[in-house]
Amino acid sequence: MDKPVPIAIDDVVKRIQDLPSLSTVVLELLASMEQEDVDLQVLAAKISLDQSLAAKTLRLANSSFYGMSTKVTTIHQAISILGFHHIRTLVTACAVTGSFTETTGGGFDFRAFWRHSVGTAVCARQLAPHLKCSPDIAFTVGLLHDIGALVLATRFPQRYEEMLAYRRAHDCYVVEAEQAVFGIDHALVGSALAAYWKFPASMQSAVAGHHQQPDPNQGALGLLVHAADILAHALDLSGLEDELAPPLDLDSWNALGLSEADSTALFAQSEAIFQDMCQILVN
Amino acid sequence: MSTLELGIDEAAAGMVLGADLKDDGGAVLLPAGATLAAATLASLRQRGIATLTVQAPDTPHDSAEREALRARQLARLAHLFRRSAQAGGSAHLLERLRAYRRNG
């Protein structure tokens, strides 16, 4: 085929504005991620108004994710027992996975997409203590790291089909196929969406760079998401037949500093927590 | 379902309780069937719990079946790493995953 005209990032940004919008509550929660003084009572009341969002959040709070012995039955109770940071992470996860439901036909596998995203989120959370990162920020960035793929698939469905066919024909990485067919990749598109949703800067750059060799000067969150994505592929969490683990360079492996006991625990915990989370977040 | 008794430090996240875990007063802290998350184990350790009864993992009785399952899992790993096994970090990750699947 003739080399297709590359899509300009500005065109993508315009299409982003056509996406189903996240509710105001969730946008407020995302924007508050690096703020210190947040009005908990007001936010808790707003979350509780959305019944299905609140119900899903409570199911997650009561799952093995936190392994609590007491069940929580209201958002206020969940916040007082688990703390606002944890609840914010859960609410964001529920809202985002609920926002993008299958709207187009075509080759995009929504279920596999969310399975991989939840898998990366869980792996990122389990890796976070090793890299001294916040588990909640790690989980949220992991969940949203591939969101650019959703933009490309839903805004440019025909080209997306061509990209998938290219990937299959060459058995190459998705970013290689995207570069060939779109001229841009989902990491760049994802960072544009992260900017639009006003994520903290550290999260935007972690999304932008997740398929590149991490820059040690950029902070640990980039390495964390890069490694978590690879691990989620390597643990085969998405359920896709033609899964492919991206490469991990030696410096990044050494920077993770995982002993054998660490990696065994990491694999086991990630798999177990992933099963529980998927039952609640991905239908 | 057979069970094992383990010291709290031998238990790992993801294991499932084989019997109700009770405190000194006999109240149930966690019911049988509960999955142990890392946070749960940490809080049990803090409470001074020394031993746990966990469900023994399911293993196929037939050793040939077990071998076949392992072979499939190792072949699947080779497939997942078919493009990246040469990368320095991937080689280490693959080695750890092979050991994990072999011992599972």
Question: According to the model, what pLDDT value does residue A125 have?
Answer: 94
Which of A27-31, A202-206, A238-242 shows the lowest per-residue confidence on average (mean pLDDT)? A27-31
Mean pLDDT, chain A, integer: 87
How far does A69 lie from chain B, in Å, by closest CA?
6
pTM of the shown model: 0.78
pLDDT band at A34 (very low <50, low <70, confident <90, very high): low
Q: What is the pLDDT of residue A250?
A: 96
Q: Tell me the per-residue pLDDT of B27-49, one tens digit each, with 9 for 90 and over.
A: 778 888 788 888 888 888 888 88
Q: What pLDDT, in 10s, does the model give residues B82-103? A: 999 899 999 999 999 999 999 8
The residue type at A212: Q
Which residue segments constitute the domains of chain A, with CATH numbers given? 1-20+102-283 (1.10.3210.10), 21-99 (no CATH)
Convert the pLDDT of each residue in A223-250 to its tens digit.
Answer: 999 999 999 999 999 989 889 999 999 9
Residues A54-97 have pLDDT tens digits of 888 888 888 877 878 888 888 888 888 888 888 888 888 887 77
Question: So what's the pLDDT on residue A2?
Answer: 60
Higher pLDDT, A124 or A104: A124
Cross-chain CB nearest to B37 (options A65, A171, A234) = A65
- Within 8 A of A265 by CB-CB distance, chain B residues are 12-13, 38
CB contact under 8 A, A249 and B87: yes
More confident residue, B81 or A1: B81
Closest-CA residue of A relative to B36 is: A67
pLDDT band for A43, please (50, 70, 90 cuts): confident
